[in-house]
Amino acid sequence: MIDPRTDVSITSDGNLLFDKAVKDNVETVWHRHEAQQPQCGFCDMGLSCRICIMGPCRVDPFGQGPQTGVCGADADIIVARNLCRMIAAGAASHSDHGRDLVEVLEAVSKGEAPGYKIRSEEKLRRVAREYGIQTEGKDVLTVAGELADAMMEDYGMRRKSVTLVNRAPEKRRKVWEKAGITPRGIDRETSEMMHRTHMGVDNDWVSLLTQGLRNALSDGWGGSMIATEVSDILFGVPAPKPTMVNAGVLKKGQVNIVVHGHNPVVSEMVSKACISEEMLALAKAKGAAGINLVGVCCTGNELLMRRGIAMAGNHLMTELILSTGAVDMMIVDYQCIMPSIGKAAACYHTKMISTSDKARFPGMEHHEFHPDNAEEKAKTLVKAAIENFGNRKQVYIPVAPQEAVGGFSIETILGALGGTPAPLIDAIKAGKIRGAVGVVGCNNPKIKHDYGHVTLIKKLIENDILVVDTGCVSVASAKAGFKVPSAIEMAGPGLKEICGALGIPPVLHLGSCVDNVRILVLVSALADALGVDISDLPVAGSAPEWYSEKAVTIGVYCVASGITTHLGPMPPVTGSMNVVKLLTEGLNDVVGATFGVEPDPEKAAVFLIRVIEKKRKALGLDS
Ligand code: SF4
Ligand code: MSK
- At 377, the amino acid letter reads K
Ligand 1 contact, 43 CB (< 6 A): no
Say if residue 472 is exposed, middle or buried (CB neighbours under 10 Å; 0-12, 13-18, 19+). Answer: buried
Residue 456 CA, ligand 1 centroid: distance in Å: 40
Entry field: residues in the chain: 623
pLDDT in tens, 1-47: 677 656 799 999 999 999 999 999 999 999 999 999 999 999 999 99
Ligand 2 mean position, distance from CA 90 (Å): 11
Q: What ipTM goes with this model?
A: 0.97
Nearest Cα residue to 268 out of 223, 358, 333, 357 = 333
Phi, psi of 198 (to 5 degrees): -65, 150
Asked if the model's pLDDT at residue 63 lies above 90, the reply is yes
Closest ligand relative to 53 C-alpha: 1
pLDDT at 229 over 70: yes
What are the strands, taking DSSP E only, across 373-422?
402-406
Average pLDDT over residues 370-391: 97
Cα–Cα distances (Å) from 308 to 136, 193, 336, 435, 517, in that order, read 34, 39, 22, 28, 21
pLDDT tens-digit profile of 318-372? 999 999 999 999 999 999 999 999 999 999 999 999 999 999 999 999 999 999 9
Pocket test for ligand 1, best of 43, 53, 77, 78 (most atoms within 8 A of CB): 78
Q: Do 478 and 65 touch, CB atoms closer than 8 A?
A: no
Q: Is the CB–ligand 1 distance for residue 54 below 6 Å?
A: yes
Give yes or no for residue 313 CB within 6 A of ligand 1.
no
Cβ atoms of 176 and 184 within 8 Å: the answer is no
Ligand 2 interacting residues, C-beta cut-off 6 A = 262, 297-298, 314-315, 336, 441-442, 471-472, 512-513, 548, 550-551
- With 60 as the cut, is the pLDDT of residue 254 above it? yes
Q: Is 503 exposed, middle or buried (0-12, 13-18, 19+ CB in 10 A)?
A: exposed
Identify which of 267, 333, 548, 553 to mutate to test ligand 2's pocket (most ligand atoms within 8 A of the CB).
548
Sheet holding 539-543, edge to edge: 507-511, 465-470, 435-439, 539-543, 565-567, 595-597
pLDDT confidence of residue 54: 98
State whether the Cα torsion 331-336-342-344 is positive or negative: negative
185-215 pLDDT, tens per residue?
999 999 999 999 999 999 999 999 999 999 9
Return d(Cα 577, Cα 442) in angstroms, integer: 26
Q: Which atom of ligand 1 is nearest to the CA of 68?
A: 7
Question: Which CATH code, of 1.20.1270.30, 3.30.2010.20, 3.90.1300.10, 1.10.600.10, is assigned to 86-235?
Answer: 1.20.1270.30
Ligand nearest to the CA of 555: 2
- Grade residue 159 by pLDDT with cuts at 50, 70 and 90: confident
Q: What pairs with residue 602 in β-bridges?
A: none
What does the alpha-carbon distance between residue 233 and residue 119 come to, in Å, rounded to a whole number?
Answer: 6
Q: 158 falls in which pLDDT band (50, 70, 90)?
A: confident
With a cut of 90, say whether residue 221 has pLDDT above it: yes
Question: Measuring CA to CA, which residue among 152, 160, 142, 144 is closest to residue 99?
Answer: 152
10 Å CB burial of residue 143 (0-12, 13-18, 19+) is: buried
The rounded Cα 450 to chain-centroid distance in angstroms is: 15
Ligand nearest to the CA of 68: 1
Give the C-alpha separation, 582 to 460, whole Å. Answer: 27
- What is the Cα–Cα distance from 140 to 130, expressed in whole angstroms? 16
| Helix (H) or strand (E) run with residue 447 in it | none
Residue nearest to atom 8 of ligand 2 (CA): 336
Tell me what pLDDT residue 4 has.
63
Ligand 1 contact, 384 CB (< 6 A): no
Q: Tell me whether residue 139 is exposed, middle or buried, using C-beta atoms within 10 angstroms of its C-beta: 0 to 12, 13 to 18, 19 or more.
A: exposed
Q: How far is the CA of 72 from the centre of ligand 1 (A)?
A: 8
Average pLDDT of the segment spanning 130-137: 97
The pLDDT mean for the chain works out to 97
- Decide if 451 contacts 602 (C-beta within 8 A): no
583-613 burial: b if 16+ Cβ within 10 Å, else e: beebbeebbbbbbbbbeebeebbebbbebbb
Q: 116 in helix, strand or coil?
A: coil
> 435 - beta bridge partners?
465
Ligand 1 contact, 56 CB (< 6 A): yes
Q: Is 79 in the pocket of ligand 1 (CB under 6 A)?
A: no
How much of the chain is in helix, strand and coil states, percent to nearest 5? 50, 10, 35
Q: Is 623's pLDDT higher than 80?
A: no
Give the model's confidence band at 375: pLDDT under 50 very low, under 70 low, under 90 confident, else very high.
Answer: very high
CA pseudo-torsion sign 422, 535, 541, 557: positive
Q: How many CA atoms lie within 13 A of 435 on its CB side?
A: 28
> Does the CB atom of residue 51 touch ligand 1 within 6 A?
yes
Share of the chain above pLDDT 70, in %: 99
Instruction: Give the ligand with the smallest distance to the CA of 263.
Output: 2
Average pLDDT of 274-283?
97
Q: Give the whole-angstrom CA distance, residue 241 versus residue 225.
A: 23
- Minimum-distance ligand 2 atom for the alpha carbon of 470: 4
Nearest partner of 398 among 509, 317, 333, judged by Cα: 317
Reported in sequence order, the residue ranges of 119-166 that DSSP labels E, i.e. its strands, are none
Secondary structure of residue 49 in the 3-state scheme: strand
Task: Give the position, in ligand 2's atom list, of the atom nearest the Cα of 314.
Answer: 6
Residue 152: phi and psi, rounded to 5, are: -60, -35
Every domain range in the chain assigned CATH 1.20.1270.30: 86-235
The preferred substitution site among 335, 439, 449, 509 for testing ligand 2, maximizing ligand atoms within 8 Å of CB, is: 335
CATH topology of domain 254-389: Rossmann fold (3.40.50)
CA–centroid distance, residue 470 to ligand 2 (Å):
9
**For the residues 259-269, what does the mean pLDDT come to?**
96
What are 356's strand-pairing partners? 359
CATH 3.40.50.2030 domain range(s) in the chain: 254-389, 408-618
pLDDT number for residue 416: 82
Beta strands in 271-321 (DSSP E): 291-296, 311-313
Q: What is the pLDDT of residue 581?
A: 98
In CATH terms, 408-618 corresponds, of 2.30.110.10, 3.40.50.2030, 1.10.3720.10, 3.40.50.2300, to 3.40.50.2030
Residue 177: which residues within 8 A CB-CB, separation 6 or more? none
Compute the average pLDDT of residues 554-583. Answer: 98
Q: Is 70 in the pocket of ligand 1 (CB under 6 A)?
A: yes
Residue 622: predicted pLDDT: 83
Q: What is the pLDDT of residues 87-122, one digit of tens each?
A: 999 999 999 999 999 999 999 999 999 999 999 999
